[in-house]
Structure 1
């Protein structure tokens, strides 16, 4: 009889332990993958800037947090370091105003670059014509492009370069020939970060956020309509706090990650 009671007590204890282990919240499955992958200083062209207020989303690329505006110029006046700067709570700059440079055309800034999903690195061979290279990797890679980290000639010599989107510009504008390009992209198909916001796209293909707290942050937006394959959008939240997604409509569902 004692053995029977002990056995029943043991089974009961195991049942309680098992139930406790299974009572996890759905949110427990989310795991932050946010990691800083680069930092540095860049000079970018500001296209079509008018007036003296500049929105960081007009020149920064997805994944970048702008931490300092070193100088702004219109290539004719003395470079200016803006003093009127707006930042969000995490310290990221989202807008600044100049006083002497009326129509800025370039900006030099400091940044940190962050990823929120596993990063894949690839090296591919490309052709340069007059110092210009267009990355011809698969659409999957280039649509999620994070960073071009290295360009070398076929002898392995590093080449100075700048890039915007999938276009690379070599410092040597006369170079013609094959080069190797190393780049990184995020694999959003296996992200485990909890979405910041999700729902249905508003009329006008827009998602409205809080300007003072969210502007200047990077975003990834996954838009989907079953059974269509999800489409991803990447960028920096504008100073207005309103993200407009080209090619979507109000019937699209979305998941949005801010980082």
Structure 2
């Protein structure tokens, strides 16, 4: 359940050993709006505001990397009105947040296939990446038109091209090779994946990267997800025993 505003904040010392990289499936915006008798896009706008709060909270809990699932390859199946509204929201978010993110030392990256996105949005994405390219305090990755299977397929295609051209020896290909071709090749794998809204599935998000991630499926709808609840989840992660298939002696 979401934490109330009266509860104490989680201090950084309580998340020692917490996750370095957190990935979030930000689900529940539409239902949040419907519960209030408002259109779904109202919920998406509320969810965008929540992103800033969580980004600002991450360093306090020892989180160095945050990856958020903004728009999946399957989301094109939604109504034209909702898709157009989301694309407009992405453009508005970038325009509004670029200076704030740059000044706070946030390095922003986008993952996903940009081919289907409109030129204006692509240009804004490129400009935001360029504007924050030298920032080192925190890393924010935004997944737009992203799907895990699509990412692996695109990576495999590039890998196959390198093999065909002679740039890569096929006998050298192992499980350390493919990640170099993924969209996330410069990022560590996520330690913790959070999905809001009560759904218990990963929805094609970071399929390769999350093989050994810890998962938290929570009932809170994304616009209601608070800094305090985020801190609780980071603290809970710090108490887990992660063996990666091994057994303690």
Greater relative contact order: 1 or 2 (C-alpha under 8 angstroms, separation 6 or more)? 2
Structure with the greater alpha carbon radius of gyration: 1
Given the two structures, how large is their TM-score scaled by the length of structure 1?
Answer: 0.21
Given the two structures, how large is their TM-score scaled by the length of structure 2?
Answer: 0.22
Higher normalized strand content (fraction of residues): 1
